[in-house]
Amino acid sequence: MSGRLWTILRRDLARLLLGGRGGALLPVLFFLAVAMLYPFAVGPDAPLLARTGGGVIWVAALLAAVLPLDRLVEPDIEQGFFDQCALRGIAEEAVIAVRVIAHWLSFGPPLMLAAIPAAALLGIDASSLRTVELGLLAGTPGLAALGVVIASVTSGLRGGAALAGLLAIPL
């Protein structure tokens, strides 16, 4: 990766992790809130919670991945960032690939760490937790790529954040 792309990656990570509106903390807190509220919806049946816990963690991860979509691409389009990259000879595909990496680094590993207390709340055993963690490790990069694509499609639209959620949830 060239020096320019490293600079873009550092910029994107700083904006996603330390930016306003909760940064990286908001998706993690939302993820944990879904895991905490699910037992109230289902009831105190421990075997049922343990059986369905992996799916709940995945649904919570998908919902948490939708939260930062409105600030992934739109601010850069408004500020002319992509135009500046094109003028400097940086391929748009490379910039978007770096954006996918930054988006994953800002929400994937924190969600994987948050899955441990979520699994404890849902009564998931250690072997199932290992399977869920490996699944999150394999699947969250896909969620990040899907999120960047959806954010790109809905940027500049009025109500784009709501449309992004409607596009991401069925997928």
To which residue do tokens 């490379």 refer?
A: 94
CA angle 35, 38, 44 (to 5 degrees): 115
Per-residue pLDDT of the chain (171 residues; tens, 9 = 90+): 678 888 888 888 778 777 666 667 888 899 999 989 998 888 888 888 888 989 999 989 988 888 877 777 888 888 888 888 888 888 888 888 998 998 898 888 999 999 999 999 888 999 999 999 999 999 999 988 988 888 888 877 776 666 776 777 776
Q: Please give the structure tokens belonging to residue 119.
A: 């699994």
- Determine the length of the chain: 171
Q: How many domains does the chain have?
A: 1
How many Å apart are CA 62 and CA 19, to the nearest integer?
21
Structural domain for 83, as ranges: 3-168
Contacts of 152 (CB under 8 A, 6+ apart): 72, 73, 96
The pLDDT of residue 138 is 94
Q: Are 99 and 13 in contact (CB under 8 A)?
A: no
The pLDDT of residue 20 is 62
The pLDDT of residue 139 is 92
Residue 69's nearest CA partner among 107, 112, 33, 111 is 107
Q: Are 94 and 159 in contact (CB under 8 A)?
A: no
Determine the 3-state secondary structure of 155 from DSSP: coil
The pLDDT of residue 77 is 83
Q: Are 119 and 61 in contact (CB under 8 A)?
A: no
CA angle 54, 124, 122 (to 5 degrees): 80
Determine the 3-state secondary structure of 169 from DSSP: coil
